[in-house]
């Protein structure tokens, strides 16, 4: 089991590392092969799909993406002819976008997993929640009082976070019907309480549970957190791995959950051969024995009747919360989440402007950063820009770090400040040497000079070369060892670019509890957007 988790984490890493937009070679349609655009958590189905390939002659070729990105790919028509099917944790989001919805063909549900709260057993007991009915309001009250902390994925990047946000909003609104855009304002104060306890964000479910485990065992310097909001399957998998100091108690809120139903969905553009392959594969995956196999390997619930649940799922009746059906409602919720509800971010960008950045590279950096000011206004870009209340600092560096330039985005009327950021990043120019570690130290010094604001604090490092000025990695690590616990918990998200040292970037990510991103073969803008999910 432990190996399984490590495997998932590794796959997730590789996949997010080389960003999904750039599949190396265009895969051609052929009978016996289904090209599927899918949620990354489906990597754990590999053994099942290998057996399916043997039994049916239909092989699955996955390209992983997030729910919003995937919906955008569908809506733009870029999936037509490139993929035969999509397989997300649910079709609720693409179904709400007319241009994506009309591309969805025959959909066959394969398995289920509700999004629930997992809390370290002792914490659940201390809160008196073990074996008792608990509502989302109870949870929000305890969250507001600071009685526990949790991690959740970014709702614009990952379906588990998205489902949790929508579910919690519907439950706290208490209207009994699907939440509408107009009701979001009214429920925002309640949601703020709930999200006050969120101590960690992540762009993918896999990374989140991995980070939880690393923090719980002390492998990671970040603050320990008490629980996770995630798919039941992810939480059960963590428990089954035996790698946690204490197991998670699963809290199924009695007022309802949102359940992922994993419809394997043929695209309307798919060929006749793909249609047949889709039929063969879905028939196979819904055979009772295969459903049982899926249940025991992935801890997801069966989609068909007559396959009894194993005891790990508990016997509770799970009420399903109504889920909005309109893009307006989703947009209103996501905007409120980022600009008003969640704890704001404190982000420092340490960016290389050395001579080797001259030309395309500095151009790419400028446009990638200005994309985060709202210049990139597509489905994904809209929610990956700098958010209301966020504090952003840029430390451009070459032979030495430059003076930090800081901005605070107001909650409303953000445009003027965003424009200032835009003109600042667009004036970046290249020249001089590369002082990576002096510049990172400068970033930590800056953060050290500020009081603890309870923000999600992180550092993004973008460099295209080897360090050749000032202190080295060892010197940096030595300095880090002497810093406060709060600063040790600030993750660095290094971006591999140009001739940057892969080893050093990975080390930085590891020792700070961050994550390295690879922009060597993919679009820099996409990578910057992806990192937003972790901030």
Binding residues (CB under 8 A) for other proteins: these are 92, 95-96, 101-102, 104-109, 112, 135, 171, 174-179, 255-256, 259, 261, 263, 265, 268, 272, 275, 279, 282-283, 286, 301-306, 317-328
CB of 309 to other proteins, least distance (A): 10
* Three-state DSSP string of 209-255: HHHHHHHHCCCCCCCCCCEEEEEHHHHHHHHHHCCCCCCEEEECCCC
Which one, 256 or 401, has the nearer CB to other proteins?
Answer: 256
CB of 416 to other proteins, least distance (A): 30
Which one, 86 or 460, has the nearer CB to other proteins?
Answer: 86
CB of 327 to other proteins, least distance (A): 8
Which one, 187 or 321, has the nearer CB to other proteins?
Answer: 321
Angle separating helix axes 415-426 and 360-370, nearest 10 degrees: 170
Burial bucket for residue 232 (CB in 10 Å: 0-12, 13-18, 19+): buried
CB of 117 to other proteins, least distance (A): 17
What phi and psi values does residue 297 have, to the nearest 5 degrees? -80, -40
- For residue 326, which of 203, 182, 192 has the smallest C-alpha distance? 182
CB of 88 to other proteins, least distance (A): 13
Residue 190 to residues 129, 168, 173, 370, Cα–Cα distance (Å): 20, 10, 8, 33
Which one, 135 or 241, has the nearer CB to other proteins?
Answer: 135
CB of 325 to other proteins, least distance (A): 4
CB of 129 to other proteins, least distance (A): 18
Which one, 233 or 347, has the nearer CB to other proteins?
Answer: 233
CB of 255 to other proteins, least distance (A): 4
For 361-376, b/e burial (b = at least 16 CB within 10 A) is bbebbbbbbbbbbbbb
For residues 258 and 479, what is the distance between their CA atoms, to the nearest angstrom? Answer: 45
Which one, 325 or 448, has the nearer CB to other proteins?
Answer: 325
- Give start and end residues of each alpha helix (H) in 31-90: 46-56, 67-76
Beta-sheet pairing, 111-120 with 301-302: antiparallel
Half-sphere exposure of 11 (CA within 13 A, CB side): 19
CB of 78 to other proteins, least distance (A): 19
Which one, 173 or 435, has the nearer CB to other proteins?
Answer: 173
Which one, 188 or 279, has the nearer CB to other proteins?
Answer: 279
Which one, 243 or 327, has the nearer CB to other proteins?
Answer: 327
Which one, 137 or 243, has the nearer CB to other proteins?
Answer: 137
Which one, 80 or 472, has the nearer CB to other proteins?
Answer: 80
- For residue 526, which of 17, 10, 13 has the smallest C-alpha distance? 17
Beta-sheet pairing, 263-267 with 104-109: antiparallel
* Three-state DSSP string of 143-211: HHCCCCCEEEECCCCCHHHHHHHHHHHHHHHCCCCCCCHHHHHHHHHHHHHHHCCEEEEECCHHHHHHH
Tokens of 360: 């395309």
CB of 302 to other proteins, least distance (A): 7
85: left (phi > 0), else alpha (psi -120 to 50), else beta? Answer: beta
Residue 317 three-state SS: coil
CB of 433 to other proteins, least distance (A): 55
For residues 196 and 194, what is the distance between their CA atoms, to the nearest angstrom? Answer: 6
């Amino acid at each position: 089991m432990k190996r399984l988790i490590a495997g998932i984490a590794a796959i997730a890493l590789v996949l997010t590392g080389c960003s999904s937009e750039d599949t190396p070679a265009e895969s051609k349609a052929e009978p016996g092969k289904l090209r599927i655009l899918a949620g990354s958590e489906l990597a754990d189905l590999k053994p099942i799909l290998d057996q399916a390939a043997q039994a049916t002659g239909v092989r699955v070729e996955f390209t992983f993406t997030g729910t919003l990105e995937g919906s955008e790919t569908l809506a733009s028509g870029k999936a037509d002819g490139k993929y035969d099917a999509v397989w997300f944790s649910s079709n609720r989001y693409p179904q709400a976008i007319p241009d994506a919805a009309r591309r969805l063909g025959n959909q066959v549900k394969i398995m289920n997993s509700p999004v629930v709260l997992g809390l370290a057993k002792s914490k659940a007991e201390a809160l008196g929640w073990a074996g008792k009915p608990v509502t989302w309001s109870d949870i929000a009250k305890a969250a507001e009082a600071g009685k526990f902390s949790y991690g959740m994925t970014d709702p614009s990047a990952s379906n588990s976070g998205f489902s949790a946000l929508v579910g919690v909003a519907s439950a706290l609104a208490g209207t009994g019907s699907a939440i509408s855009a107009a009701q979001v304002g009214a429920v925002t104060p309640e949601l703020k309480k709930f999200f006050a306890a969120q101590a960690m964000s992540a762009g993918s479910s896999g990374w989140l549970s991995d980070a939880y485990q690393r923090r719980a065992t002390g492998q990671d310097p970040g603050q320990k957190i008490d629980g996770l909001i995630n798919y039941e399957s992810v939480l059960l998998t963590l428990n089954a791995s035996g790698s946690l100091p204490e197991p998670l108690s699963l809290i199924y809120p009695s007022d309802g959950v949102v359940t992922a139903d994993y419809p394997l969905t043929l695209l309307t553009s798919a060929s006749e051969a793909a249609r047949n392959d889709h039929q063969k594969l879905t028939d196979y995956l819904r055979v009772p024995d295969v459903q049982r196999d899926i249940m025991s390997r992935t801890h997801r619930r069966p989609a068909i009747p007559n396959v009894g649940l194993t005891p790990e799922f508990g016997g509770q009746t799970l009420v399903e919360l109504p889920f909005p059906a309109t893009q307006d409602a989703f947009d209103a919720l996501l905007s409120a989440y980022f600009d008003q509800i969640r704890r704001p971010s404190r982000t420092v960008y340490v960016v290389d402007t050395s001579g080797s950045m001259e030309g395309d590279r500095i151009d790419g950096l400028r446009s990638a950063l200005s994309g985060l000011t709202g210049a990139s206004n597509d489905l994904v870009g809209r929610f990956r820009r700098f958010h209301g209340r966020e504090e952003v600092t840029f430390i451009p560096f070459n032979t030495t770090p430059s003076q930090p330039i800081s901005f605070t985005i107001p909650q409303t009327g953000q445009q003027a400040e965003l424009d200032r950021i835009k003109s600042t990043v667009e004036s970046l120019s290249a020249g001089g040497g590369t002082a990576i570690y002096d510049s990172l130290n400068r970033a930590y010094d800056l953060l050290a000079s500020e009081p603890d604001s309870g923000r999600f604090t992180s550092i993004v490092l973008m460099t295209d070369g080897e360090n050749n000025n000032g202190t080295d990695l060892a010197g940096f690590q030595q300095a880090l060892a002497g810093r406060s616990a709060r600063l040790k918990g600030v993750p660095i998200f290094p971006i591999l670019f140009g001739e940057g040292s892969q080893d050093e970037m990975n080390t930085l990510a590891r020792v700070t509890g961050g994550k390295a991103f690879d922009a060597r073969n993919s679009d820099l803008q996409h990578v910057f957007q992806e990192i937003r999910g972790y901030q």
